Amino acid sequence: MSEPWQHYYQSQRLRLSYWTWGEASKPPLILLHGGRDHARSWDRVAAAFRDDYHVLAADLRGHGDSDYAKGSLYGLPEHVADLVALISLVGGCATVVAHSFGGAIALLAAGAFPEMFERIVSIEGAGARMHDGPEVLTPRALREWGQQARSFEQQTPRVYPTIEEARARMQEANPQLAPEMAMHLARWGTLGIDGGYIWKFDPWVRGRTPVEISIAEMEGFWRAVECPVLHLVGGRSQHGRERHEGRPLDNFFRDSRTVVVPDAGHWLHHDQVELTVRAIREFLAGGRAGQEAAG
C-alpha cells in the first residue's frame, strides 16, 4: 500500500495534522482515534476504504503530529470544535468512524451539528470520557482538578531506549496485537530524542476539564443525533458497557444498531480488523448488520 499524504488545518489557533488516502473527489470518510493514540493506527482500515472514499485520519489535538494545546484544554467541547472544523474543510458533511474517546467526540458533535454527519461508526465510544462525579462544580471538585493539573507540571515523559521497547509497551497494553502492528503503532506514535524515544501525545491529555459533560447530558446529545449510527463493541471488552443503567445503547438514538465483534477487546480494529471492516462496510452500504458479527 502506498503511503498516505499528510496535511494540516487550523482550529482554535492550533495546527492540527491529518493524513489522507484515495481521491479527494470521492465522499469523505473521517477516521478519529482514541485517547493517547494517533492517526496512523488507522492504516489498515484506511486501506480497506480508500478505493471508495476520500479517507482522512486526524491526529487529535495534543496527539500525533498535532499541536499541544498549551494553556488550553483537552475537554470534549474543544475536540468537537476541531472535528467540526475538519468536516467544514471537506465540504460540510462526512461519514465518521471513530474509536473510544474519538467516538465520544463524534457522537457529541453529531448531537450539536446533526447536518454535518452522514453516518457514524462508534467503536467502543459510547462510554468514553463521561463525567461520573457531581453534575455541578463543587469546591472539592475544583480543588482536586487544580491539584491534578499542577501535578502534570512535575511529570517527565518516560524515555524508551529503543523503539523495540516502545513496541513491547504497546503489546503489554494489548497482548492481542501482532508484533508487526505493535511496531507500526510504536513507530508512528513516538518521537526520537537524545537517549531514545518518547510518546508523541501531550501528557496533559490525561487530564480533564473541571466541569465535564455528565452521563445524563451526553444522553441528551445522543437523542439529537439524526444520522444512522453503528456501535461496534468488543466481545471481550467491558469498556463502558454498564454505564446506562442496563438499558440497551440503541435506545438513546433515533437510528442505531449495535454489533458485537467476537474475540476482540477494546481495540477492535486491531484485534479483529477483517470483521471490523466487514461490519463497517455493510453499514456504510446501507444494510443493517445483525447483533453479532459473523466469525
Q: What is the mean pLDDT of each run of 10 residues along the chain (295 residues)?
A: 90 97 97 97 98 98 96 87 98 98 96 98 81 70 86 91 98 94 97 97 84 84 97 88 67 95 96 97 75 49
Which residues touch 108 (CB under 8 Å, ≥6 apart)? Answer: 76, 80, 213, 218, 221
Q: Tell me the three cell numbers of residue 8.
A: 494540516
Query: Phi and psi for 274 in degrees, rounded to 5?
Result: -65, -45
Segments making up each domain of the chain, as ranges: 5-156+202-284
CATH architecture under which domain 5-156+202-284 falls: 3-Layer(aba) Sandwich (3.40)
Q: Position 187: which residue type? A: R
What pLDDT score does 209 carry?
Answer: 77
Distance of CA 11 to the CA centre of its chain: 17
Q: At what angle do helices 76-89 and 101-112 cross, to 10 degrees?
A: 70
pTM: 0.93
Q: At what angle do helices 163-173 and 179-189 cross, to 10 degrees?
A: 120
What pLDDT score does 285 carry?
Answer: 95
Q: What is the rounded (10 degree) CA torsion for 257, 260, 261, 264?
A: 130
- Identify the burial level of 276 via C-beta atoms within 10 angstroms of its C-beta, where 0-12 means exposed, 13-18 middle and 19 or more buried: buried
What pLDDT score does 247 carry?
Answer: 74
What pLDDT score does 129 carry?
Answer: 55
Q: Tell me the three cell numbers of residue 281.
A: 462496510
Whether the CA torsion 85, 90, 96, 99 is positive or negative: it is negative
